[in-house]
Amino acid sequence: APLEEVDLPLFFGWFLLSSVQEKVRCTSMDFLKTLDTLEAFKKHLADFTGKAEKEVDLEQYFKPKGALHCTTKFCNYGKAEGAKEYAENPAVKALYGSAFEVSLTALFVTPRTVGARVSLTDEQLQLWPADAEQSSSLPPGSRAHITLGCAEGVEPVQTGLDLLDILALQQDGQQGEPAEEMELGSLTYYGEGRWLLSLREPIGAPACFSSFYG
């Protein structure tokens, strides 16, 4: 392909520094380990296994998906809609390569993905594409997340969609079922295998705004 067709990355985003990647992975593993042991989770195990009696080891169930990051714009090497416009956005150009701190405010689990919700600051929202939330009426930045793992055969694009799905339920006034007060925060069940842990203390993660070519 001519060079101009490959000069856009696969995606732009915030890439967590390696020291904090380890910390976030540990936190997520601890969460999965604890979730697995909760009576509330066992009660809804069929959401994951299809069978009530079967056991699931969540730490094995989810496979890691590479370096931890929060995608801003998926460009697909320029083939995604709005990719070129995004790359040419003055804020994107000005802030490319800069250091940020992204705030992880919740962890969520579904039968497909495990992820962390990222709450963006106003400055960070300048780097957020207008079309990310798709047709949902959720505010810009709602989809911001870090994929921590995916079930067998599930692509990481699913993590943000799972988060939007949970946030849409909340927006519709569905409070979910309070399940457990954990050391990390409050755990809520939203049905169909959807669990959200609101972190008592957000995790501040140093990250670099950059891009990934793959």
Answer for which of 159, 190, 197, 211 binds ligand ACK (CB under 6 A) is 159
Q: Which is nearer to ligand ACK, 115 or 193 (CB)?
A: 115
Q: Is 156 in the site for ligand ACK (CB under 6 A)?
A: yes
CB within 8 A of 185, min separation 6: which ones?
A: 106, 197, 198, 199, 200
Q: Which two tokens stand for residue 177?
A: 């079922």
Closest approach, Cβ 74 to ligand ACK, in A, equals: 3
Q: Shortest gap between Cβ of 69 and ligand ACK (angstroms)?
A: 7
Minimum Å gap between C-beta 159 and ligand ACK is: 5
- Contact indicator for 184, 107 with CB cutoff of 8 Å: yes
The residues pairing with 210 across neighbouring beta strands, listed in sequence order, are 13
The minimum distance between CB 133 and ligand ACK, in angstroms, equals 11
Q: Mark the segment that binds ligand ACK (CB under 6 A) among 46-54, 90-98, 151-159, 165-173.
A: 151-159
Do the Cβ atoms of 62 and 193 come closer than 8 Å? Answer: no
Choice between 44 and 145, CB closer to ligand ACK = 145
- The residues that are catalytic are 69, 145
Residue 65 phi/psi, 5° resolution? -125, 45
Cβ 176 to ligand ACK, closest distance in Å? 24
> Phi first, then psi: what are they for 7, rounded to 5°?
-85, -5
Among 35, 47, 71, 199, binds ligand ACK (CB under 6 A): 71
Q: CA-CA distances (angstroms) from residue 97 to 43, 105, 131, 153? A: 46, 24, 23, 33
What are the φ and ψ backbone dihedral angles of 80, each rounded to 5 degrees? -75, 145
Q: 187, 105 in Cβ contact below 8 A? A: no
Within residues 12-51, the interface with ligand ACK by CB under 6 A covers: none
Asked whether 67 and 20 are in contact (CB, 8 A), the reply is no
Of these, 14, 48, 74, 100, which contacts ligand ACK (CB under 6 A)? 74
94 near ligand ACK, rule: CB under 6 A: no
**Positions in the binding site for ligand ACK (CB under 6 A):** 10-11, 71, 74, 147, 156-157, 159-160
